[in-house]
């Protein structure tokens, strides 16, 4: 009987592990927050046999909102409520409803919510998964709660990544709208450039105002032969006097509401001109006056900016000036790179989790807007602390995308506490199957047992980290492991090494951007210099060790490093610290 029960439990454990792995793969591949949240809630309800559940997520403005709900929860999706950061508890993976009565609104708790799981990554609290009691009024077993806790950990990374991607898509939609406006300007500028007749140019400008902005009344004033002249007008009666023209040419801002003018010419009042837009190029000035839109909508700052650009095109084309083609692509690329860098920064641990008895510090600077270097520190439970460092081949956006995939895998696999050598082989096979043949990763990671201070590691083709004995200052290299990730399928199993971190010991991990930095004679800084530098400073704090090393590297190469620089240091505090 005992053997049968053990066999059943082992089968169930394997089935749950396979479910978690399959779910993690599914969630990693999705960039849809609604898909990720829906799967988390449905799997939870199906596993625990509860008739109701909901997911609540935090916003940056001190509020929370109902992101997904199933069953009779008494609240609607997208419903918001106040929840300052000081009230949001997240130090435990699972809470009872009573423990969060100061955090969640009574309208939710009144619906029979009984168990609440914390949704968070290593650096960010995202929200809560709330569920009702079990159907049949039984209690949840430790196995059931443990399964959902692991599922939430897996889902948290997917939720965070999908939300970031969703924000990126929103920003891209706004950017696409701007690009559409810029493309319109470009098309008009191309027509202007193909024309030599001023009247043809002004007719194209007329049709653009009427078709794009629904402007039916306007005039265009610029200096011709030393005097300001209205070179085109539409739907207006009468004429401006020379004095009025000269006064309009002197308005200050880029655009001015006519209602704000202290002395408004009668010509503008009678013709219901509502705004004046000032166009400048070098020392030349022109004025575009516009009436109300035919669709009745008011102008907003974005509209004025578009009119300013359109008017400038007409102004510059009349004077035979330049086009805007290169500027369109440049602005879009800079915006995308800025957004990519913002997202990549969130993948590094901030703050770094530092357990009692240890000092940890990390540093990364990309050689471009985004890079392929990566380091991480992941706390798994009360006992295990994972440290990792990696270098993806190449630079820029392709390398940063592969780096992001590696980060996601580590955050999913670390909480499972699997053998580090076998897990490295699994990661290698996944990367090999899903990346081009010219992309691979040098990778080092290890798990520190916080109870016995044993650091078990695996080196996948990475620069061997340096271990310094705190008593003797003896330096050794942590090289046990195997081949680069993604270069070949795992044919030879990876090996794991281990080292005990006694008080005063430290481990220095770095990428080849540090060791391969060159001076003006094209001489590499080298791993030997790194060892010598660390031998002089290993008694300092982790941050000081990094600062001393990087100061020497930057001086060696005169700040002309051509690769990403990344360093991660862990130091076991000695008894005097």
Q: Are strands 125-131 and 115-120 parallel, antiparallel or unpaired?
A: antiparallel
Q: What is the pLDDT of residue 570?
A: 96
For 442, how many CA atoms within 13 A lie in the half-sphere containing its CB? 16
Domain with CATH 3.30.450.40 in the chain: 2-167, 195-328
d(CA 64, CA 56) in angstroms, rounded, equals 7
Nearest Cα neighbor of 492 from 440, 418, 442, 428 is 428
What are the strands, taking DSSP E only, across 103-251? 115-120, 125-131, 218-224, 227-234
Output the CA torsion sign for 106, 108, 114, 115: negative
pLDDT for 325: 37
Residue 126: Cβ within 10 Å count: 22
Q: What's residue 502's pLDDT?
A: 94
Residue 340 has a pLDDT of 61
pLDDT of residue 13: 57
Distance CA 369, CA 294 (A): 45
Measured distance CA(407)–CA(349) in Å, rounded: 10
Q: What is the pLDDT of residue 533?
A: 93
**Into which CATH architecture does domain 348-572 fall?**
4-Layer Sandwich (3.60)
pLDDT at 257: 80
What is the 3-class SS of 489-545, one letter each residue? CCCCCCCCEEEECCCCCEEEEECHHHHCCECCCCCECHHHHHHHHHHHHCCCCHHHH
| Amino acid 446: pLDDT | 95
CB 474 within 8 A of CB 542: no
Q: Is the CATH code 3.40.50.12780 the one for domain 195-328?
A: no
Question: What's the pLDDT score for residue 322?
Answer: 34
Record the pTM. 0.46
- Using 50 as the pLDDT threshold, list the residues of the chain that sit under it: 1, 3-5, 7-9, 11, 321-326, 576-577
Measured in whole angstroms, the distance separating CA 356 from the mean position of its chain's CA atoms is 30
22 and 154 in contact (C-beta within 8 Å)?
no
Using alpha carbons, select from 238, 229, 241, 289 the residue that is nearest to residue 261: 289
CATH architecture of 2-167: 2-Layer Sandwich (3.30)
């Amino acid at each position: 009987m005992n053997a049968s029960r053990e066999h059943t439990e082992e089968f169930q454990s394997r089935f749950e592990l396979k479910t978690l792995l399959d779910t993690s793969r599914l969630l990693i591949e999705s960039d849809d927050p609604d898909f990720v949240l829906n799967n988390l809630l449905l799997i939870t309800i199906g596993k625990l046999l509860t008739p109701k559940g909901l997911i609540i997520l935090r916003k940056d403005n001190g509020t929370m909102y109902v992101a997904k709900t199933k069953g009779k929860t008494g609240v609607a999706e997208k419903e918001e409520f106040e929840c300052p950061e000081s009230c949001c508890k997240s130090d435990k993976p699972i809470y009872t409803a009573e423990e969060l009565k100061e955090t969640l609104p009574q309208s939710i708790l009144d619906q029979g919510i009984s168990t609440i799981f914390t949704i968070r990554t290593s650096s960010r609290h995202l929200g809560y998964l709330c569920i009702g009691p079990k159907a049949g009024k039984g209690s949840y077993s430790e196995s059931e709660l443990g399964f959902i806790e692991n599922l939430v950990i897996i889902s948290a990374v997917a939720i965070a990544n999908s939300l970031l991607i969703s924000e990126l898509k929103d920003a891209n939609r706004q950017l696409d709208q701007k690009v559409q406006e810029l493309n319109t300007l470009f098309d008009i500028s191309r027509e202007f450039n193909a024309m030599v007749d001023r009247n043809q140019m002004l007719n194209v400008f007329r049709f653009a105002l009427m078709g794009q902005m629904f402007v039916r009344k306007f005039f265009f004033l610029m200096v011709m032969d030393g005097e300001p002249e209205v070179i085109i007008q539409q739907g207006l009666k009468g004429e401006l006097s020379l004095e009025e023209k000269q006064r309009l040419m002197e308005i200050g801002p880029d655009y001015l509401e006519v209602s704000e003018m202290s002395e408004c010419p009668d010509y503008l009042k009678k013709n219901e001109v509502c705004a004046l837009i000032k166009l400048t190029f070098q020392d030349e000035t022109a004025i575009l006056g516009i009436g109300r839109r035919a669709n009745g909508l008011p102008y907003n700052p974005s509209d004025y900016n578009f009119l300013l650009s359109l008017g400038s095109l007409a102004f510059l084309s009349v004077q035979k000036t330049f086009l805007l083609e290169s500027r369109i692509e440049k602005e879009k690329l800079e915006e995308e790179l800025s957004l990519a860098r913002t997202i990549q920064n969130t993948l590094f641990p901030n703050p770094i989790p530092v357990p009692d008895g240890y000092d940890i510090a990390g540093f990364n600077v990309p050689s471009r807007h985004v890079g392929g270097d990566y380091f991480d520190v992941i706390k798994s439970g009360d006992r295990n602390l994972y440290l990792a460092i990696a270098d993806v081949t190449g630079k820029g956006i392709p390398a940063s995308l592969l780096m992001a995939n590696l980060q996601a895998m580590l955050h999913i696999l670390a909480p499972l506490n699997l053998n580090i050598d076998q897990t490295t082989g699994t990661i290698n096979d996944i990367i090999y199957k899903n990346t081009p043949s010219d992309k691979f990763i040098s990778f080092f990671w290890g798990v520190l047992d916080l109870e016995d201070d044993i650091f078990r590691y695996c080196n996948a083709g990475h620069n061997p980290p340096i271990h310094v004995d705190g008593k003797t200052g003896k330096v050794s290299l942590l090289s046990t492991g195997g081949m680069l990730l993604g270069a070949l399928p795992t044919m030879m199993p990876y090996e794991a090494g281990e080292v005990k971190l006694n008080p005063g010991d430290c481990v220095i991990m770095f990428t080849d951007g540090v060791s391969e930095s060159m001076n003006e004679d094209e001489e590499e800084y080298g791993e030997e210099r790194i060892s010598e530098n660390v031998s002089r400073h290993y008694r300092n704090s982790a941050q000081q060790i990094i600062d001393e090393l990087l100061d020497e590297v930057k001086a060696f190469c005169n700040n002309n490093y051509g690769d990403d620089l990344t360093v991660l240091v862990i130091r076991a505090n000695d008894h005097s610290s």
